[in-house]
Amino acid sequence: MTDVFGRYVEWVPICPEVEAGLGTPREAMRLVGDASQPKLITITTERDMTKPLAMFTERKLDTLETADLSGYVFKKDSPSCGVERVWMFNRHGMSVRDGVGLFARAFMERFPLVPIEDEARLCDPVILDNFIERVFFYHRWQTLARGPLTRKVVVEFHTMHKYILLAHSRQHYQQLGRLVTRADRYRPKVLIKRYGALFMKALTVTATRHKHMNVLQHVIRHMKDQLEPSERAELDSVMEDYRAGMVPLVVPVTLVKHYVVRNRIDYLRDQIYLNPHPKEMKLRNSI
Given a cut of 90, whether residue 179 has pLDDT beyond it is: yes
Q: Which of 104, 121, 138 is the last residue of a domain?
A: 121
Residue 2 CA from chain centroid, whole number? 16
**C-alpha to C-alpha distance for 287 and 281, rounded to whole angstroms:** 13
Residues 92 and 17 in one domain: yes
Tell me the β-bridge partners of 168.
Answer: none
Residues 65 and 136 in one domain: no
Lay out the sheet containing 95-99: strands in order across: 39-42, 29-32, 86-89, 95-99
Evaluate the omega torsion of the peptide bond into residue 125 and state whether it is cis, within 30 degrees of 0. Answer: no
**C-alpha to C-alpha distance for 104 and 72, rounded to whole angstroms:** 10
> Across residues 126-133, what is the average pLDDT?
95
Q: How many domains does the chain have?
A: 2
**For residues 98 and 88, is the Cβ–Cβ distance under 8 A?**
yes
Encode pLDDT of 24-44 as tens digits. Answer: 889 999 999 998 899 999 999
Closest CA to 72 of 113, 36, 44: 113
Q: Which backbone phi and psi does 148 adopt, to 5 degrees?
A: -60, 120
Given a cut of 80, whether residue 103 has pLDDT beyond it is: yes
Q: Provide the pLDDT confidence category of residue 147 given band limits of 50, 70 and 90.
A: confident
**For residues 216 and 255, is the Cβ–Cβ distance under 8 A?**
no
- Number of other CB atoms surrounding residue 94 within 10 Å: 8
Residues 208 and 220 in one domain: yes
Q: Give the end-to-end CA distance of the chain in Å, rounded to a whole number.
A: 16
**C-alpha to C-alpha distance for 266 and 194, rounded to whole angstroms:** 28
Residues 279 and 183 in one domain: yes
**C-alpha to C-alpha distance for 206 and 130, rounded to whole angstroms:** 7
> Across residues 121-142, what is the average pLDDT?
95
Residues 165 and 27 in one domain: no
Given a cut of 80, whether residue 102 has pLDDT beyond it is: yes
Q: Provide the pLDDT confidence category of residue 1 given band limits of 50, 70 and 90.
A: low
Residues 56 and 133 in one domain: no
SS3 category, 42: strand
Residues 64 and 191 in one domain: no
Distances (CA, A) of 178 to 18, 171, 191, 195, 218: 47, 11, 12, 10, 21
> Range of 130's domain?
124-287
User: How many residues are given for the chain?
Assistant: 287
Residues 132 and 95 in one domain: no
Q: Which amino acid is at 247?
A: V
- Number of other CB atoms surrounding residue 228 within 10 Å: 9
**For residues 78 and 107, is the Cβ–Cβ distance under 8 A?**
no
**C-alpha to C-alpha distance for 75 and 110, rounded to whole angstroms:** 18
Q: Which of 121, 149, 167 is the last residue of a domain?
A: 121
> Residue 127: CA atoms inside 13 Å, Cβ hemisphere, count?
10
**C-alpha to C-alpha distance for 165 and 76, rounded to whole angstroms:** 29
**For residues 167 and 206, is the Cβ–Cβ distance under 8 A?**
no
Residues 36 and 167 in one domain: no
Residues 182 and 111 in one domain: no
**C-alpha to C-alpha distance for 271 and 268, rounded to whole angstroms:** 5
- What sign has the CA pseudo-torsion 41, 46, 48, 52? negative
Residues 79 and 200 in one domain: no
Residues 162 and 29 in one domain: no
Encode pLDDT of 219-250 as tens digits. Answer: 999 998 999 999 999 999 999 999 999 999 99
Q: Which of 96, 121, 146 is the last residue of a domain?
A: 121
